[in-house]
Amino acid sequence: MIKINHIEHADCLEYLKKVPDNFVDLVVTDPPYNVSQKNNIKYKNFNVVKNFGDWDFGFDPIPVLKELKRVLKPNGQIYIFCATKQIPLYISVFEKDWFFRNLLVWNKTNPAPRMSKTNFLFANEYIVYAINEKVKPSSATFNFSRQNEMHNIFITSALQGKERLKDENGKTAHPTQKPLSVLKKLIEISSNKGDIVLDCFMGVGSTAVACKELRRNWVGCELDEKYCGIIKERLASK
Ligand SMILES: C[S@@+](CC[C@H](N)C(=O)[O-])C[C@H]1O[C@@H](n2cnc3c(N)ncnc32)[C@H](O)[C@@H]1O
């Protein structure tokens, strides 16, 4: 059994094994994008981070999706963040075994610069949205607000300033922290107060913070112990 509103320091597959079938109302998760390169780039005085950590190499989503399907209720929903090259895999799995619903775009107003000037900047990240089973869509929680607030695009800056967490040396605490505004919108739309939301790639706990602010329960894990410590501190100050 697993504890609610508690971060577990664990590998996601080990953790998910302990989650009962049909336990979770909603999955909001941000797994590795497999986009890291071995070396960061220094250009004049500017450092461009290309290596997010060992965790961003060789991630295989298939066994994780299988477990997520099992722990999610039949009419439960999933939002999974991904990079451009991962979109075909996620959509093909959701079309075949789940109920694919939409592809959402997070458009960053401040993408990392392209120093080589030989390609476009990567200004978008993506969120693939699906329901677990091919149920009537109206049986899934979907708190639709106004038409003009329900576009499948979120336009906001990548984290900077106060929202970007810093470590004890004043450096960025996590290289791929996601904005609370985007997470809160997904959670508000696809769950109700008291529901259980799962994130098995917690990073510095943005999903947990969004849930706490919205009075949803959350469960999840993170592989890196240092990030687990930051999550605990972050939640304690809320
Ligand atoms: C993209 S980041 C998530 C960032 C998070 N959304 C946030 O705002 O802080 C992915 C996280 O998954 C963790 N991770 C990678 N492989 C994992 C695994 N097998 N099990 C659990 N966590 C893992 C990494 O340590 C990293 O912190």
Q: Indicate the burial class of 160 (C-beta count within 10 angstroms; 0-12, 13-18, 19 or more).
A: exposed
Compute the mean pLDDT over every residue in the chain, rounded to the nearest whole number: 95
Write down the pLDDT at residue 15: 98
Q: In the chain, where are the structural domains located? A: 6-236
Atom of ligand 1 nearest to the CA of 199: 6
The Cα 82–Cα 201 span in angstroms is 12
Q: Which fold has domain 6-236?
A: Rossmann fold (3.40.50)
* pTM for this predicted structure: 0.96
- % residues pLDDT > 90 (the chain): 84
The pLDDT tens digits of the residues spanning 4-28 come to 999 999 999 999 999 999 999 999 9
Say whether pLDDT at 40 is over 80. Answer: no
Distance from Cα 79 to the centre of ligand 1, integer Å? 15
User: Exposure of 131 by Cβ count < 10 A (0-12 exposed, 13-18 middle, 19+ buried)?
Assistant: buried
pLDDT at position 206, please? 98
Question: What would the pLDDT profile of 156-188 be if each residue is shown by its tens digit?
Answer: 998 888 889 998 888 899 999 999 999 999 999
**Six-digit token string for 199:** 């994130």
Token pair belonging to 214: 């919205």
CA–centroid distance, 224 to ligand 1, in Å, is 8
Distance 205 CA to ligand 1 centre (A): 9
Work out the angle at residue 143's Cα, subtended by the Cα atoms of residues 126 and 163, and round it to the nearest 5 degrees: 50
Measure 203 CA to ligand 1 centroid, in angstroms.
Answer: 4
User: Within 6 Å (CB) of ligand 1, which residues are found?
Assistant: 11-12, 30, 32, 55, 174, 176-178, 201, 203-204, 206, 221-224, 227
How far apart are alpha carbons 117 and 122 in whole angstroms? 12
- 40's torsion region: left (phi>0), alpha (psi -120 to 50) or beta? beta
Cα(204) to ligand 1 centroid in Å equals 8
CA atoms within 13 Å, Cβ hemisphere of 43: 11
Question: Using CA atoms, how far apart are residues 94 and 88, in angstroms rounded to an integer?
Answer: 10
For the CA of 201, the closest atom of ligand 1 is 12
Higher pLDDT, 37 or 190: 190
Residue with tokens 């939002």: 79
Atom of ligand 1 nearest to the CA of 56: 15
* pLDDT, tens only, 87-125: 999 999 999 999 999 999 999 999 988 888 999 999 999
Instruction: Grade residue 48 by pLDDT with cuts at 50, 70 and 90.
Output: confident
**Cα torsion angle, 113, 122, 210, 31, sign:** negative
Q: Which amino acid is at 187?
A: I
**Mutate which of 35, 55, 68, 165 for ligand 1 pocket (most atoms within 8 A of beta carbon):** 55
The answer to whether the CB of 187 falls within 8 A of the CB of 169 is: no
Residues 6+ apart with CB under 8 A from 215: 193, 194
Q: Where are the beta strands (DSSP E) in the chain?
A: 6-9, 24-29, 41-43, 46-48, 72-82, 99-108, 124-131, 153-156, 196-199, 217-222
Query: Ligand 1 centroid to 138 CA: how many Å?
Result: 32
